[in-house]
Amino acid sequence: MITYFSFIILFFIFFLILKKQEKKNFEETSKILKSFVSKEFLNDISEDLKNDYERATTAITKQDLELDNSIEELREYKKELEVTYESLLTKSKQLEYSNQVLEQRVASLSNINSLSRTVLSIMELDKIISTILDAYFVLTGAKRISLYLWEDGKLINKRIKGEIHFRGELSYPQEVLSQFTRKDYKKIYNEMLKGFSITPDEKIIASPLTVKGKELGVIFIIEDKSKLIKSDEETIS
């Protein structure tokens, strides 16, 4: 009967044999690999086998190079696809935005057309002014509005919607006013802008009122900067 101690000794001997065999196998494997690297094994084979080996080695090397080139080409192609995708995505977003702007403009034109027919059907100036100012609030992001008209050489405030305390007036002799150009009127309106009190988050726009080249007055519109869009300025104009 094998004692426990004897079993330990046998196991240890068996372990040493395995380690020795493992070392031998490793040495043989290393020897074979070194032989392939240095091509020493070619000294012991026939000329035909040498040629076959060289051809096989050349073919494998060529295939490996072609594979590397193919991988690099695929990487470049992937980059091109990514660039193309980003470009298409950007154009798609631009097209979507353009469609939204176009829809807004079409809607604005339709509303302005309806407003024009309404105004033409009204004979009283006060009602015309009220209709126009109401339209500004509906068609744009206007918060406060102040309307001025020229009367006998004076630019007089006719109507205010919203909380506006500035009601400045200007007066010019008729002979001087008759010589004014559009540029002169614009300069006057820009100077008047300075009299309005607005917050840093607001913007004020001066929209001249002209009919067939005749200057009738100006409307000052105050909006939030964050809500002001390009189509608002077009609609106001």
Over residues 147-164, mean pLDDT: 90
Which residues make beta-bridge pairs with 60? none
| The pLDDT of residue 82 is above 90 | no
Find the mean pLDDT for residues 41-45.
58
Q: How confident is the model at residue 113 (pLDDT cuts 50, 70, 90)?
A: low
Contact of 220 with 192, CB cutoff 8 Å:
yes
Query: Tens digits of per-residue pLDDT, 201-228?
Result: 988 888 888 878 889 899 998 988 877 6
Rg of the chain over all Cα atoms, to the nearest angstrom: 45
- Closest Cα to residue 129, out of 113, 118, 142? 118
Residue 8 is predicted with a pLDDT of 61
3-state SS, residue 181: coil
CATH topology for 140-236 is Beta-Lactamase (3.30.450)
List the one residue out of 202, 206, 157 whose CA is nearest residue 185. 206
β-sheet bridge partners, residue 160: 146
For residues 20 and 142, what is the distance between their CA atoms, to the nearest angstrom? 94
pLDDT at 73 over 90: no
Q: What is the DSSP letter of 141?
A: -
Of residues 89 and 23, which shows the higher confidence score? 89
Query: What is the reported pTM?
Result: 0.52
Task: Using pLDDT thresholds of 50, 70 and 90, give the confidence band for residue 64.
Answer: confident
SS3 237: coil
196 three-class SS: coil
